[in-house]
Amino acid sequence: MHHPVTSRCPSFLFLPPKRIQNSNSDFRSGILTPDSPPPLTSPTLIYLHLPKCGGTTLNRLIEWEYSPLRIYSVDPSFFRWSYYRLLALPARRLARLQVVKGHMPFGIHKRLPLPATYITVLREPVERVISEYYFARHYRLHPQYRRMQKLSLEQYATTTPHHNLQCKLLAGLPGPRDFLAGDCTDETLQVAKANLAQHFAIAGLTERFEETLALIKILFGWKLAHYASFNVTPIRPRKAAVDESVQRIIAERNRFDVAIHQHVVALFDQSLQTHRAAVDGALQEVSRARTLGPVATLSYQAASELRKAISRLRSAV
């Protein structure tokens, strides 16, 4: 079920002023205040899934909150092909979508015929690269699996063209067909910050995932009846166990990701401080949603896989 934005939305949440129709002056300003009425037209949700940022878990939750038949899921394995297929869909098909989600650059809202707003989740960049490396190294179906067997973490971090990918995807600037590749500049960083301010309802944090879910629940009215983690990299060292010199190399190689992550952390902290009471209440509900027994967890995971399959099949045809 698709839930409209409610008037209880706190003021830290930004909606794109040019993408909300039939709205009052509060909405045209781009900032939702506690006293603002809801928009008459609920926006299409775009989840910009940044790789290895806890997004698989959020994807499964989205598939419970919205009809899988009205979700376009960019295929996680063939995401370049799937994204360009999305760009080519006719307007009548795009108009039926409640959600667009997956690995893709910012900008898909320009193709949608209805109002849209974004959400995303960022991750501390060194942690993200460590997780990405070990996931590819141990997941046999990963396209880089064989290559990773020959590379150390340091070698991977210094040679991959997919550095600073959080900043690149949030900026959505024109570049190579492989939108994870290419370089970042100060301009890329500034564009990413501007996009976050103008087009994103919320930018959450992997390392504070339940607080992120609490904020999403407040904004979109999600039920979050059940909640479990998916696609957690099982075999990887903790960041503290990685040599500090390697950590510095990763951080320097991904310095624009470090900058955009720090920017979002500051905004996130401010939001929580301003709306602590509402977040605390939502956090209790999120915590209860995760309290499942072994049998209930297996049932939830199986049903989630079915909803995922329906969404992906519908997206592919």
SS (H, E, C) 12-36: CCECCCCCCCCCCHHHHCCECCCCC
| Separation between Cα atoms, residue 52 and residue 125, nearest integer Å | 10
pLDDT given at position 74:
95
pLDDT given at position 14:
42
> What does the buried/exposed string (b/e) look like for 37-55 if buried means 16 or more CB atoms within 10 Å of the residue's CB?
ebbeebbbbbbbbbbbbbb
**H-state helical runs in 98-160:** 125-138, 145-148, 153-159
Q: Which CATH class is domain 25-316?
A: alpha beta
Helix axes 55-65, 294-316, angle to 10 degrees: 80
pLDDT given at position 159:
92
pLDDT given at position 44:
94
Q: Count CA atoms within 13 Å of residue 231 on its CB side.
A: 18
Strands (DSSP E) found in the chain:
44-48, 71-73, 99-102, 116-122, 200-205
**pLDDT under 50: residue ranges of the chain:** 1-41
Ramachandran category for residue 242: left, alpha or beta (phi over 0 → left; psi -120 to 50 → alpha): beta
Contact between 172 and 105 (Cβ < 8 Å):
yes
pLDDT given at position 232:
63
Nearest 10 degrees: Cα torsion 154, 158, 161, 165: 70
Q: Count CA atoms within 13 Å of residue 261 on its CB side.
A: 22
Contact between 56 and 139 (Cβ < 8 Å):
no
Contact between 261 and 166 (Cβ < 8 Å):
yes
pLDDT given at position 312:
93
Instruction: Write the CB contacts of 76 (distance below 8 Å, at least 6 apart in sequence).
Output: 56, 102, 103
pLDDT given at position 16:
35
pLDDT given at position 122:
98
